[in-house]
Amino acid sequence: MDVRCQRRMPRIESHLLRSVAVLRILIVEDEAKVAKAVSEGLAAERYEVRIAATGEEGFFLLSQESFDLVLLDLMLPRRDGLEILTALRKRGVETPVLVLTAKDTIEERVQGLDCGADDYLVKPFAFAELLARIRALLRRGRMDQVLKLEHEDLVMDLVARTVARGALALDLTAKEFEILEYLLRRQRTVVSREMLARDVWQVTARATPLDNVIDVTIARVRRKVDDPFPTKLIHTIRGVGFLLGPLPR
């Protein structure tokens, strides 16, 4: 068998796995009864659900973990949903947001959409309608995701398998491409060497030689992605791993 074909196999499999992976939804809702009911309904539809009871908690979870969709209540204690939404979009979090609210005036809907909401559902709503809107948003999100990954002026075309930063086309090896794709899919979150070893190299046992290979490959990716530009996109977080995105303040 052609060695190159053999090497390509895990890649294809990991793409397939990713496409059937469980979709994660974050519910930001202070009314425990509503949060529980929606969460149970979504879990029954095989979504993985997390609940945040305040906007701060929601904001924190979104900066720590990756979600495919957020259900955001507008009437929250302290910082309301619109403030949270504005802050998220400002930070570049592009996760689709479906606003759930008891407010029902045209002004409020427009304001919600202007702040970066992707859709709007007024309480009380039929669960079937919520599901339909969630599916529509996820479909939209997934289609974008499959074709292109972006961060700032860095664009990865997953179909053509090309990478460019601004007007400059970057020439990456297959492994470098894979690492950069991994970082782009988890942008703004820290990726550890352990994660790279497990998911990119498919090696679960930690070993110093592999850590060295990872460091060398990351260094090559950074040279290509960041060296020609004043704004650096990839950072080393000492003792933890690597981050594609702005350094946390």
CB of 63 vs Ca ion, minimal distance in Å: 22
d(C-alpha 70, C-alpha 137), whole Å: 10
CB of 232 to Ca ion, least distance (A): 40
Dist CA 26 CA 41 (whole Å):
13
DSSP 111-131: HHHHTT-SEEEESS--HHHHH
The verdict on 56 binding Ca ion (CB under 5 A) reads: no
In angstroms, what is the minimal distance from the CB of 78 to Ca ion? 12
Looking at the Cβ atoms of 30 and 119, the one nearer to Ca ion is: 30
- Residue 30 touching Ca ion (CB under 5 A): yes
The residue whose Cβ lies closest to Ca ion is 75
Closest CB 85 distance from Ca ion, rounded Å: 14
Question: From the CB of 31, what's the least distance to Ca ion, in Å?
Answer: 5
DSSP tag of 171: -
Restricted to residues 114-153, the positions that interact with Ca ion (CB under 5 A) are none
- One of 53, 61, 75, 131 touching Ca ion (CB under 5 A): 75
Ranges within 179-198 binding Ca ion (CB under 5 A): none
DSSP letter at 30?
Answer: S
* Distance separating alpha carbons of residues 157 and 141, to the nearest angstrom: 15
In the structure encoding, which two tokens stand for residue 131, read together? 């599901």
Contact 158, 142 (CB under 8 A): no
Q: Is the Cβ–Cβ distance between 71 and 58 less than 8 Å? A: no
* CA–CA dist 238, 242 (Å, integer): 8
Under the binding rule (CB under 5 A), the answer on residue 73 touching Ca ion is: yes
53 near Ca ion, judged by CB under 5 A:
no
Give 119 or 215: the residue with its C-beta nearer to Ca ion.
119
DSSP letter, residue 140? H
Our CB check for Ca ion shows the closer of 75 and 213 to be 75
Judged by beta carbon, residue 73 or residue 178, the one nearer Ca ion is 73
Question: Where does this chain bind Ca ion (CB under 5 A)?
Answer: 30, 73, 75
